[in-house]
Chain A
Amino acid sequence: MEQDWLWGLAGGLLIGLGAAVYLLGNGRIMGASGIIGGLVDRSGWSSWAERVVFLAGVFLLPLLLVPLLDREAATHLTGNAAVVIAAGVLVGIGTRIANGCTSGHGVCGISRLSPRGIVATLIYIFAGGATLLALRHGLGVI
């Protein structure tokens, strides 16, 4: 669509506002992998309620907004279960070892000029591009 960049910018501003509320309100960095991962490995158990409520907001608002949207809401996720499982495991392990993902290292890290955030973002974008290059254009499997 022609206006995709405008929707992207508007959505991006909302994401940044959410991160600003979490930072200035609760003093926390809004990193999705850290918020989820802290519940999975119990390292963030002392703040479990805050994490669960945050994730409830992430889940519920799209649920409420989808019927109001004039566009289809679909993830277009591949139907190849092996690819989905491999991707999920890699995302889970990688974000926890690197201590951040697109929201923590990307949005929150780059905006404070964090060296780790900038380096991580460059690496995961490059790794994602290389993966698509190899598996889509090279082997033609995804």
Chain B
Amino acid sequence: MIYAESPALEIVNLRKHYRRIEALRGVDFELGRGECLAFLGPNGAGKTTLIRALAGRTRPTEGTIKVFGHPIDSIGARQALGLVPQDLALYGDLTTRENLMAFGKFHGVPRRELKKRIDWALQWTGLTDRARDLVGGFSGGMKRRVNLACGVLHQPKIILLDEPTVGVDPQSRERIFTMLDQLSDEGASILLTTHHLDEAEQRSDRIVILDQGRVIADGTIDELVLSTVGHSRLVRVRVDRPLTAPVTVPGDGGQRRTVHVGEAGRDLIETRIDDVTVNLGPFLKAVRHGGYVVSDMEVQVPSLHHVFLHLTGNELRD
């Protein structure tokens, strides 16, 4: 039974300890029905542990996971989930069809429906003409597609994807996301972890950022930008010679105040401008007034990349 009001996934205060290491430190979030949620975080943030806990492969130390309102260990909850692991968990010495058949059976697809589902999967992945070929000889992109198909053959309502596009070329990534869009259109809820921030930004409805076992941000891209770096644009101007002193951009007597930008000795000026249509002109005028010639200029729109670095810092997380 599926409760009409309950979200697809509901995670409350999820904790996981590995001896002295605390991989998850009280994670809370929800995945709405039909929603595509991107789960981001630096290496070691706890993303894979979370996916493993959702897939029933690790027992949380504390907290609850509910699938459509039911505990994860209840009958039918596992059937509602489809896991697509980060590694290519396939049998390279079996053909595409044989792999699909094996995982279909393990997922409990009834024998009478199995052939139909395999035919669908072959068509969906664009591998109908390679159905009888051994998967071991496939390209990385093709293996990824088979990997994906094996996880969704039983038509799960929730699909957990752990970095589904790692190590594939842009064409294959595009193809994989087209496939995921199809599933999303059919009503599946998707939770994906990825390091491709542009992918998360473009393909997901909502973003959750995890760091050091905690959720540090949760919202749409606009909400995250607004709550972190704001909507100001980063403007980079390269001038013909190093500055002798910071450039003074005068205020207008109103909301815009007088500011000093750039550093003496550098030929690159960086500043944030809230409204480029109003404030970019006065800034460039001040540069020229200082006796410099603008040789290059770049205006950066705030993106998930900036949000991510703003929240998690620039330090390596190896």
Q: State whether these chains interact.
A: no
B interface vs A, CB < 8 Å? none
